[in-house]
Structure 1
Amino acid sequence: MSTSQRKTRVALVYGGRSSEHAVSCATAAGVLAAIDTDRYDVVSIGIAKDGRWIPGIDDPAALALTPGRTPEVLGDGDVRLPLSVSDREVVDIAGGSGTAVLGEVDVVFPLLHGPFGEDGTIQGMLELADIPYVGCGVLASATMMDKHYMKGVLAGHGLPVGPFVTITDRQWQTDPQAAIDAACALTFPLFVKPARAGSSVGISRVESPDELPAAIEAARAHDPKVVVEQGIAGREIECGVLQGRGNDAPRTSPLGEIVVESGHTFYDFDAKYLADEEVVLSCPADLPSDVTERIRDMAAQAFEGAGCEGLARVDFFYTPEGEIFVNEINTMPGFTPHSMYPQMWLAAGLSYRELITELIELALARRVGLR
């Protein structure tokens, strides 16, 4: 059947090998429940923690992340995406039972967070096969995933970033004291983070030098490369960015603010996903109009400076002195219906379903190859 005789077929890819596997499953639960099935056929593909690609499930409830349940991709199968520009047919090479054709895919929606998905890896594979996909390309995905290079790119475009140091695996293995001394040159408190992770996984707030070794090792459990950031006293402000249509400029959302009211020293994993009663997401953020415009302008500058496409969430600190710092860019931000990115666009009048549709249509309108 030709594409003109059927609905657009969208492959939702979720799970993955990173420490954000469960978060990706929760994102898939939200998208599966909201995607416009009158407009799109959905092919669900899960990536297990060991890297196997298997046929996904269509039941959003089975992928929900709750305080008592951590979702995971489980099952059998061997799903193969095409690796030829002349073929977009997805198949399941099931062991001992032949090959099941899952159909031609028109566009892929990678719902993957963290390394081995959000970092340019799946984007590169899809580029090789000329398959359209939602979100940022290889370079933006890779550099924005790595907090060390991300800060360099942003600073290179004249955007303010906070003081930080990077500790590589070799540095930590050969001269850990020098790495600790470099970190101690910053002003405490410090935040020790895996360089290439998200969802606040592996992050520690450090109040004194004696806490640094354990915090670095905790981060290294997720990534051998670690970033140590100087804490910035200020409000945490976020802005959603959506690629413009055609040659239009990027669109920016109303600003959101995160307020952790109790039980957490910072916006950690539990606060983000499991503690609704302890965290307030305020949108639009209560800020002076000129500050709002500055932050929205900076979000668009960051999006374009990083070479982002599709979507991104840009996170800021706004200090009592009126300074604005870019904290980071997320090229696949939290994307459950209750996450800040969809909530900010809801405040702009774009529903979760409409946002999903817009992202898919942006991907289909984007040419494949170099651009």
Structure 2
Amino acid sequence: MNDIKGYCEPRFGAVHEALAGLLAKEDVGASAAVYLDGEPVVDLWGGYADADRSVGWERSTLACVNSTTKNMTALCALILADRGLLDPSAPVAAYWPEFAAAGKEGVLVRHVLSHTAGLPDLPGLRSVAELYDWEAVTAGLAAQAPAWEPGTAAGYHALTFGFLVGEIVRRITGRGVGAFFAEEVAGPLGADFHIGLPAEHDHRVAPLIPPPSLTDDYAASAPPGPDGAPRENTGVAVRVRDVNAPAWRRAQIPAVNGYGNARSVALVQSVLANRGTAGGVRLLSPRGCEPAWQEVFSGADRVLGTPMSWTAGFGKFGNTFGWGGWGGSLVVSDPDARMTVAYVMNRMIDRERQRDDRGMEIVMAAYGGLH
């Protein structure tokens, strides 16, 4: 029995039905949320926080949302840009001088935000533990030559995005991106989202559950190349067991190790959909939100092997923007409707074996409430 808990405005009843349907099928535990005009209209959760289905998914349950974290890290950069502290058209080296090495003096901040910097890999790393050494990873990126002329092509920066944007944030503010996010975003909004997780929250974490028939050795694989052929993974392979480890929670890997639930994800991202405010709290100006949906690059993504439209930190899909995470989490914002929809779960789906439309089911159900 999957009792759905929480709040749902009647006109968004289709979201309740969609979440119930997912929990009756492949999901173990999950949450769904919709924010409209910066205010919650749906905040639902249900199912179980563990694979044994012995611990209920509660209002305060958190899960690692993997690459959905990129939306949060990008927001930090947009806030700094809105404050006049970061120029997206400036060279990264203006803030991080060592980065100019190996022909990168022309790499601009917007190239980093739009996955066009030519630095999609972390060559030389052989273990996940090496990702926990911020200074070593960022020094390696500063020394690396770009794989293509920056700005001329896109290639999803799966892990490097967070280190690149995070180091720019650190150079400007003197704070790691996790601390900046906590103090400048989550704190003012009252959002229960964390980039890296302090130990006192461990008891609230719903560990990720590998896809059906797979074990916790299930790893994030390198997407195929643009010709459909397997692409060499020149970075480290991250497994479910790594993401579920305490060391991963403590680290700063701001492309992928954010912890939250649908409520907190939607709350934070609704700031951008609602012209800079949510819940009466203003984080940036209306104009400061616009780079989130203004296209920077459109074309074939060399890493994802599919056509992509990238903005300053987000994927652009028609009139919407956002991004999802390995295994299934998702956030989508519509600035015209001033709506943000989020879905966070613990049971992963292997998209190489099975379509994963769960997050989009929640999104489409939310649009039903608008009309």
- TM-score normalized by structure 1? 0.27
Which has the larger Rg? 1
Structure with the largest fraction of helix: 2
